[in-house]
Structure 1
Amino acid sequence: MLTIIKSILSLFLVIVVGVYGEKKGIITNRLNRGLTDLLLQIILPFMIVSSFSFSYTNTIKSNVIKTFYYSFFAYIIVTVFSYLLTWPIKKEKKIILHFANVFTNTGYIGFPILHALYGVEAVIYGSIFNMFFVLFVWTYGIMLFNKKMKKEEFKEELKKTFLNPSIIAVYLGIILMVFDIQLPMVIKESMTSIGNMTAPLSMIIVGVTFSQVNIKAHLRDWTIYYGVVSKIILIPAILYFISIFINDRSIVSNTVIILASMPSATMTSIFAENFDIKKDYAAVMVVATTFLSLFTLPFLLKIII
């Protein structure tokens, strides 16, 4: 428990750095967008590829296959239960809350926590889960916000999905695993050094988001509280009890539960901004679930590990 709390608190302190940078005008909106692109298109893919670069046992190879179908069914289960949980919410707020429930902060917060708890093995399984995140967010996620999307637009988004840097990194990682390819040490160490920037940079970006949201304006909105409870308490509980029901408390099932229990993805506010749907409301959900998860995650991790 102490290790978990230290890991999360250290991430929180880096969030404070992001808040400070934005308040002092050091990190502008343009710079923050650049940092986000740097993280998603370069640093995170390097972390994914480097995590695949080590000797595999038959158990790990078997677990990778298991992670594929566990991740797929986890997204289906969360989507169904989220739809039921958001039934009392209407119109645009329902879209935001449903998206926020299904899509979690796997890269920014999930990967650093997995690495702290289990090491690079869990990052491999997390990369598979993240692959499904990318596939679902650029298909189902887009469809939620843009229900009038034309067939040609959908095909274009699907094409972008399969060419996403994180997905390409998973492709490369799987090739390294299947053919047992060992990268030269100098390349491996360089990739690991770049990948290690994932946690601090991601927390700085979250801190910038924190500092730009007027949370007070939404304190009387009951749907925010309902959405937060659904996201970081009810959905993790559902997945945990399902894992007990199927009698699987392995590192694979724990990895899937942990990543599915992360706070709402920053893509929630990015999509809301892009489609002009409840932008402030979406930002508050991201901030609220991220902040409150600092208190709920230690207890969740203590229970499932």
Structure 2
Amino acid sequence: MENDGTVERNFQPPIIITGMSGSGLSTAAKVFEDKGFFVPQNLPPQLIVDMVKLATSKNSPVDKIAIVTDVRARMFQGSLLGTITDLKDFGYEPIILFLEARDDVLIKRFDGMRRTHPLQGDDPLSMGIQRERESIAPVRDQADIVIDTTNLSVHDLRRAIEASFGDVAEKKQHITIESFGFKHGSPPDADFMFDVRFLPNPYWIPELREFRGTDPQVSDYVLSQEDATSFVDKVTELIGSLLPGYRYQGKNFITIGIGCTGGHHRSVAISEELKRRLSQRGDVDVSVLHRDISRK
């Protein structure tokens, strides 16, 4: 880090929160505020580097910062990609969190709030959303974490953010294992996706149906299957073999999707076991998110 008045402190990597308007940027900001981050919002790209430098200066009271920049801030001169490059050149390694959602869901959210899209002008709302999606696509490609909020409530989004980040102070790769039900749609942000519907379904066992994969009764049943043990062994080996390559490429956030029919039993039990196995490595931070465990 260059000598510009900043000092080497226990300063966590700066987080850039961006994405589609209506995808939950304000909710994300509140999550990080609750976690003790200083969260300036809608900074133009040119001011983001200055803000990070100020936060890391010698007498700054801030030791972790998350900056929200949306389409309104991007109307100013400068590009967010250029800002990210500048941060890296100054010795900061920002973590990019990108939020998105399907067009029809964004339209419904804008209509519900009776808002117009900043880029729609005199055109239909769908045109504004399309323009924004095209303009921000290069930033999405650079993102460390992409969260699709199409099917997420405010509380679901909070849990997804907390699971995805873990302890960002740790200089480790972070793995999020997300269980889900295929009948609710697969997670579009998963780097890997595995289908465990080949395992016997506890739903068809009356005494197990009302329990979940986090309960010992169900977990013991699922993991007692010979195919389950083999599956977890192979996935653990596969992920372990890929981690060095991802680390070399600078990819430090990895999402693994584990799916069954409803996201209640098999995927949950397998996800918990994968978390246990991968956590034993010691060189990765692993968290688990059960997306559909409470859904019917």
* Greater RCO structure (CA 8 Å; 6+ sep): 1
TM norm structure 1: 0.31
Higher strand share: 2
Q: Which has the larger radius of gyration?
A: 2
TM norm structure 2: 0.31
